[in-house]
Chains A and B, each alone.
Chain A
């Protein structure tokens, strides 16, 4: 009862602050095109007196004056005013504001319209999404937004995607933005294991977002500047991407939707390699022994490892807006085959979105439940393959006279057919993302919301190489090796928010305060096996799983790790708790001669308090201020909390009288904010922790039990990395916003860089995480233009262009950290980039190649061992997109081009394989090697010889669709068929397959823990895809 009293008291105060009650009551119904409109604001103009319509569009308002004017407003509709004139019933139909409806943007903890946004926010809705084969949500908005660089670094299904908003702000691995799905901020960590080294190198984790069915997504908002991301505080520094899934709101009476896509893909480009005759002629030309190297066949090894594929994707959904709520359920199944043998992505998803209103619509319950199962199959590819290469490397360099036969073995060489046949890498990830919220309107002004989210996934990856594999590293040949990596991730979210919204005579205030708690638990195990009795890879995987499970079953109590091997038949168990002890395992398994297993289990927490105030004066001057205090368990008690404020101001100049009608939109935006970042720091680096070192199996199968060692060089001074951003922007529109555009200028300074630097030895580890007193500066310009060139009943034509320039530099940094590992034969320990002050990130540091001398040896400025900065970086200066769509009656078509300019890519593939030195060892090369003047005894040093301009323009997407005209009352309500082409052509001078590339090893394979960019080492070729699509509702 107390609360009721409190409420009434509050009411009273609010009423007092308004006016005295006049007495007359007006009732009515507000409708839109589709029927009653709930939630419409009905305000008595010039007062603070207002109500909102209930679910049936009804309202009732007590007026305060006799000559009242009622203002009806609702997001997405043109506002309307009605003079009461003594009427007691006023029914109103609101007209959809087509322009405004599109421009509703979801922002952090709320939504706004583009017109009212003070920050730099872009929203892309499902109609504008890219079509075709979409493995992951980021691809839906690729190229749609200025200043957002989305790079598919690989053509592999489900591969990681690099997403950079306004440049690269951090020097550590993770520069991806924060993803928020239906209000649940996701953890930035991978949910599946990275690829372990079973004898040919490691590979990075798969894209963690691929669990989302792109067909379920309603809109994606990109928050670019600090004023919009600061509400996410410590996780806003790289921008925020908010994904909203579809609800059943637009489907009164129930609607089924079925969509299907059938896609055909093949490699967009392949290398021009020597065929049998050219190869043998080349050997003769170089005075090499063609007879000894002729094995009789004519094999196109790229044909052996590449394939044409058919993929399909089907979704069925049911949605119903049943009055007090809406529900949408969907089931999707997609099977995407990669254009390399043994690569695929299979995804089964189910989702239910439901909302329901209770108690006169004052209580809204919302649930979003999604489950998914993703199965990945990866070919033996690696970002860290050594001298013999991975599957692609060996396919590029394999002698074309070898037979396409897995049993063909030539000592010291890797046969791609053998490699393909005797490796297997499969993972399965099950993920559930559950989200419930309850929102309650205490009064017209106050709304409280509780949001509970649970994100859980478990993933198993089995990587197996059979004993039949030849010339693998790590003692795999003849023995067989396997890894099982299990990861279970569970993130819990609790969020409480309180909204206050009030309109005054000439101003409006919206305020939000909130609390958020999120924990991130990761646990799992890494099991390694060696020496298998079977050479059947499925049996090997089962045997290893059984051996690990049985071994673990024999252990009483908690343990960190265990293992056995021929040299250690009694095995070992290492336990951390309750006290550190070691004892015998007393388990062996005859099917696997050596096994080691190692577990991990840790939880990190994030606790936040945040608030935001929007204040609007005369609908012309908009102010926003936000602050978030974030506390993280990744820092010591002195530095746990960081405070991240921001402020923004927008001025709708076109609303000023002096502007006249020349502009339909003219808005100036100013913003400032501080955001933070702690990604990539890892667990517990601020305190001394001990664990048993990671166990391993030697090449000969020996297992040496690890002992306890300090996990990291504890640094209790660690604190948040901070990015301070300044932005100024102008939005403009002419002719009723038929032509609109945006200019943005920004400057971002990232300081207190969290960086893993060299420890001052002696120290427990070679590296220590520290906050470095240096600055990463990103500054740039973004421009976008959207024009409805033709608007008519039958014919519509729209064009959209965006371009962004970003300048990146690391400043005030005293060190010089090597990065950008180059790999391949004779390229161990080679690198191509240095992280140094006064240079952009990913700056190339190379020998200057001047050509070949008379003996065919390379000439380098200043000698063969003289590497210098060459003034070039892997970061594009300009990213751009152009899209246009035209519709004529039932036909519509669209084109989308993407381009990046001003950066360089290091052709590591050519450096590693397409040199005379390689040809001299009877490996295949491209034809230019035969005429380059290089000697077979020359060393292919890392140099500008392999550094190439990476500028490109790509026709990313083109589609034509036909909407079949149907009878009004037929069983089928709508039917649409389409054909979409992806990656149709590429304009680029790059000699490799595709300049939009970056090869990623796992984190341990990164030199000095620095991320890589611009290095093309046997990248997964990109497909060219054609998709037939069908979409029907009934």
Chain B
């Protein structure tokens, strides 16, 4: 018994110590869930699969550009092109939309923060791909275009652009490029991208970068260069290059195409230079009233409207937009009892929706309170609206499918108007170019194109395509007065830049708040 006892004691102690020895762990995690960078000293060793990371960065662009919030809100909702009035409780959203339209935003504004975070993050991810040794030359060119686009949006919206090296961890405060430094950086990336990217002819699927996509962005940057570098006036050489770039794009078969609203359907066309795989649902539902429906699709969100003064830029009857009201093609038309149907329009208008709306059978629609759904040009105020105030905009029509992943980001008619503008900025006469477009769109030719005609034409052609803020600033009109703008903001040039988000300032002491905030 005693012997057994001792044996047991021995074995149990032995077991105890073996277990102890075996169980001591170095606490390393295993790569079962993710690829762990095996680094020494925390350095960056590259992304695991550059092609896959490039793909995911496109997915990020698509989702960033799909939302009605964030960058879209910066570029569209802060302009005369769009107003999201508060309707009863609806679209109050803590004042986030009102502050944008009235130009009374603060550095705490959520969309401003998200825009900053989204596009800086995209830039960093592109840097990681560029700095990876296994990245091919073609992949590097694509990633440089991705970085240029990302940094372009930050430069355009915020002025300064922070930059973080790929091996700099959270303890490093990123350095900050001035707007001029950022401009040079972006131009260098774009030139590298153009050199390394393949050409893509018009009519092909256009979800990724190509030489032409990069050239479009380069033209855009050069056209705005005098704003970014603060020189105040366009440089003739830059303007010449803009025109050359547009001509080079055209040489690949890109051209103006007739049938304005067909461009926003999914069929290939010669205008789409870069199309993004973003659902166009937001673009549709933002513009539709709850009671407007398409088969298998619920009604809209009844929020987004445009200002009367923007609608008045178009020719045609000032108060109705039915067929035959003398409007040009781009203002669209509203189906009425005579032409609403269940196959080509579901009773939902194209372009600008004003006046009594009808369903697919041609019966007049009512709002949710039972009043006639007559969309009105005027608003009582930015708050206190009912469901019917405000003209709505439908550019992507649900008859083409509400869920298509086909949002146009770069379009040739924009390039065409950039060329016209570059010509005008370098002392030429753009009338022929502008009228070429106007004639195609069924608008009356202009005898002699003025500066105002140029910005108005861009508004008419490119409304809600996320360029309005950029255009207004270039034409010095972003600070002009419009309905419901805070009077103190009128003429305030500091509004041309968004504030550095409050939490970004806290996170990086190298950042200095933009003037005026």
On whether the two chains bind one another, the answer is yes
**Chain A residues within 8 Å of B, Cβ to Cβ:** 1-4, 7, 288-289, 291-293, 359, 363, 387, 411-413, 438, 440, 442, 448, 450, 470-471, 475, 477-479, 494, 496, 515, 517, 523, 567, 574, 576-577, 579-582, 600-605, 607, 631-633, 640, 683-684, 687-693, 698-702, 704-711, 713-717, 757-766, 768, 770, 814-818, 822, 824-831, 855, 857, 864-865, 915-918, 920-922, 935-942
Q: Is the interface of A mostly helix, strand, loop or mixed?
A: loop
What is the CA–CA distance of A24 and B352 in the complex, to the nearest angstrom?
111
- Residues of A within 8 Å of B298, CB to CB, are 411-412, 470-471, 477
- Residues of A within 8 Å of B5, CB to CB, are 359
20 sample A-B contacts, Cβ–Cβ < 8 Å, listed by A number: A3-B9, A412-B368, A470-B298, A574-B52, A577-B35, A640-B27, A687-B29, A689-B34, A699-B403, A700-B279, A706-B56, A709-B125, A758-B113, A759-B170, A765-B121, A827-B93, A865-B98, A921-B387, A941-B94, A942-B94
What is the CA–CA distance of A450 and B380 in the complex, to the nearest angstrom?
77
- Residues of A within 8 Å of B508, CB to CB, are 760-761
Q: Is the CB of B116 within 8 A of A496?
A: no
Q: Is the CB of A700 within 8 A of B384?
A: no
* B385: interface (CB < 8 Å): yes
- When A576-B34, A684-B29 are in contact, do A700 and B405 touch as well, CB less than 8 Å? yes
What is the CA–CA distance of A857 and B127 in the complex, to the nearest angstrom?
51
- Residues of A within 8 Å of B380, CB to CB, are 937
Q: Is the CB of A939 within 8 A of B124?
A: no
Most chain B CB inside 10 Å of its own CB: which residue of A475, A708, A831: A708
What is the CA–CA distance of A117 and B447 in the complex, to the nearest angstrom?
96
* 9 A-B pairs closest in CB distance: A700-B403, A292-B370, A707-B56, A289-B370, A917-B88, A761-B120, A412-B290, A762-B124, A917-B89
Most chain B CB inside 10 Å of its own CB: which residue of A442, A698, A818: A698
* B427: interface (CB < 8 Å): no
Q: Is the CB of B34 within 8 A of A762?
A: no
Q: Is the CB of B89 within 8 A of A291?
A: no
How distant is B239 from chain A, measured CB to nearest CB, in Å?
Answer: 31
Nearest A residue (CB) for B301 = A387
Q: Is the CB of B125 within 8 A of A292?
A: no
Q: Is the CB of B368 within 8 A of A760?
A: no
Chain B 11-37, CB-CB to A under 8 Å as 1, else 0, gives 011011001100111011111111111
Chain B 148-167, CB-CB to A under 8 Å as 1, else 0, gives 00000000000000111000
Nearest B residue (CB) for A450 = B16
Partner of B368, one of A363, A632, A921: A921
- When A692-B52, A937-B386 are in contact, do A602 and B32 touch as well, CB less than 8 Å? yes
Most chain B CB inside 10 Å of its own CB: which residue of A1, A7, A711, A759: A759
Nearest A residue (CB) for B401 = A700
How distant is A243 from chain B, measured CB to nearest CB, in Å?
Answer: 25
Q: Is the CB of A607 within 8 A of B25?
A: yes
Q: Is the CB of A605 within 8 A of B27?
A: yes
Q: Is the CB of B170 within 8 A of A715?
A: yes
- Residues of A within 8 Å of B240, CB to CB, are none
- When A830-B93, A865-B98 are in contact, do A707 and B53 touch as well, CB less than 8 Å? yes
Chain B 86-121, CB-CB to A under 8 Å as 1, else 0, gives 111111111110110000100010100110111011
- When A699-B281, A761-B117 are in contact, do A829 and B110 touch as well, CB less than 8 Å? yes
Q: Is the CB of B93 within 8 A of A766?
A: no
Q: Interface residue tally of chain B, by bracket?
A: 35 or more
- When A602-B33, A700-B404, A709-B125 are in contact, do A478 and B48 touch as well, CB less than 8 Å? no
- Residues of A within 8 Å of B36, CB to CB, are 684, 687-689
What is the CA–CA distance of A64 and B86 in the complex, to the nearest angstrom?
93
Nearest B residue (CB) for A283 = B369
- Residues of B within 8 Å of A494, CB to CB, are 19, 23
How distant is A445 from chain B, measured CB to nearest CB, in Å?
Answer: 15
Q: Is the CB of B170 within 8 A of A717?
A: yes
- Residues of A within 8 Å of B76, CB to CB, are none
- Residues of A within 8 Å of B229, CB to CB, are none
- Residues of B within 8 Å of A922, CB to CB, are 368-369
- Residues of B within 8 Å of A715, CB to CB, are 169-171
What is the CA–CA distance of A761 and B19 in the complex, to the nearest angstrom?
47
Q: Is the CB of A496 within 8 A of B16?
A: yes
- When A699-B281, A814-B506, A940-B92 are in contact, do A690 and B48 touch as well, CB less than 8 Å? yes
How distant is B195 from chain A, measured CB to nearest CB, in Å?
Answer: 24
* B123: interface (CB < 8 Å): yes
Q: Is the CB of A704 within 8 A of B277?
A: yes
- Residues of A within 8 Å of B39, CB to CB, are 687-688
Partner of A918, one of B16, B58, B88: B88
- Residues of B within 8 Å of A359, CB to CB, are 5, 8
What is the CA–CA distance of A826 and B34 in the complex, to the nearest angstrom?
40
* B174: interface (CB < 8 Å): yes
- When A3-B9, A293-B370, A715-B170 are in contact, do A690 and B47 touch as well, CB less than 8 Å? yes
* B81: interface (CB < 8 Å): no
> Which residues 287-333 of B have a CB within 8 angstroms of A?
290-291, 293, 296-299
How distant is A322 from chain B, measured CB to nearest CB, in Å?
Answer: 22
Partner of B405, one of A411, A567, A693, A935: A567
> Which residues 228-285 of B have a CB within 8 angstroms of A?
277, 279, 281
Q: Is the CB of A815 within 8 A of B91?
A: no
Partner of B124, one of A450, A633, A763, A936: A763
Partner of B48, one of A477, A579, A702, A759: A579
> Which residues 369-385 of B have a CB within 8 angstroms of A?
369-371, 380, 383-385
Q: Is the CB of B23 within 8 A of A758?
A: no
Q: Is the CB of A691 within 8 A of B35?
A: yes
- Residues of B within 8 Å of A581, CB to CB, are 49
How distant is B142 from chain A, measured CB to nearest CB, in Å?
Answer: 13
Q: Is the CB of B55 within 8 A of A412?
A: no
Q: Is the CB of B293 within 8 A of A411?
A: yes
How distant is A436 from chain B, measured CB to nearest CB, in Å?
Answer: 13
- Residues of B within 8 Å of A713, CB to CB, are 170
Q: Is the CB of B169 within 8 A of A714?
A: yes
Given contacts A763-B170, A764-B124, A939-B384, 20 further A-B contacts (CB under 8 A): A359-B5, A359-B8, A412-B298, A494-B23, A607-B24, A683-B33, A684-B34, A688-B39, A690-B34, A691-B33, A693-B59, A698-B403, A707-B49, A707-B52, A707-B57, A708-B56, A715-B169, A757-B503, A765-B121, A920-B88
Q: Is the CB of A717 within 8 A of B171?
A: yes
> Which residues 43-84 of B have a CB within 8 angstroms of A?
44, 47-49, 51-60, 62
What is the CA–CA distance of A245 and B234 in the complex, to the nearest angstrom?
81
Partner of B169, one of A691, A716, A817: A716
* B6: interface (CB < 8 Å): yes
Q: Is the CB of A761 within 8 A of B6?
A: no
Partner of B164, one of A2, A363, A763, A825: A763
What is the CA–CA distance of A579 and B298 in the complex, to the nearest angstrom?
44
What is the CA–CA distance of A770 and B386 in the complex, to the nearest angstrom?
46
Q: Is the CB of A762 within 8 A of B170?
A: no
Q: Is the CB of B52 within 8 A of A762?
A: no
How distant is B165 from chain A, measured CB to nearest CB, in Å?
Answer: 10
What is the CA–CA distance of A957 and B231 in the complex, to the nearest angstrom?
77
What is the CA–CA distance of A1 and B8 in the complex, to the nearest angstrom?
11
Partner of A708, one of B44, B53, B173: B53
Partner of A709, one of B56, B164, B291: B56
How distant is B489 from chain A, measured CB to nearest CB, in Å?
Answer: 14
What is the CA–CA distance of A293 and B55 in the complex, to the nearest angstrom?
50
* B348: interface (CB < 8 Å): no
Nearest A residue (CB) for B39 = A688
* B504: interface (CB < 8 Å): yes
- Residues of A within 8 Å of B291, CB to CB, are 411-412
Q: Is the CB of B93 within 8 A of A633?
A: no
- Residues of B within 8 Å of A475, CB to CB, are 403
* B502: interface (CB < 8 Å): yes
Q: Is the CB of B95 within 8 A of A706?
A: no
Partner of A363, one of B8, B387, B502: B8
How distant is A765 from chain B, measured CB to nearest CB, in Å?
Answer: 7
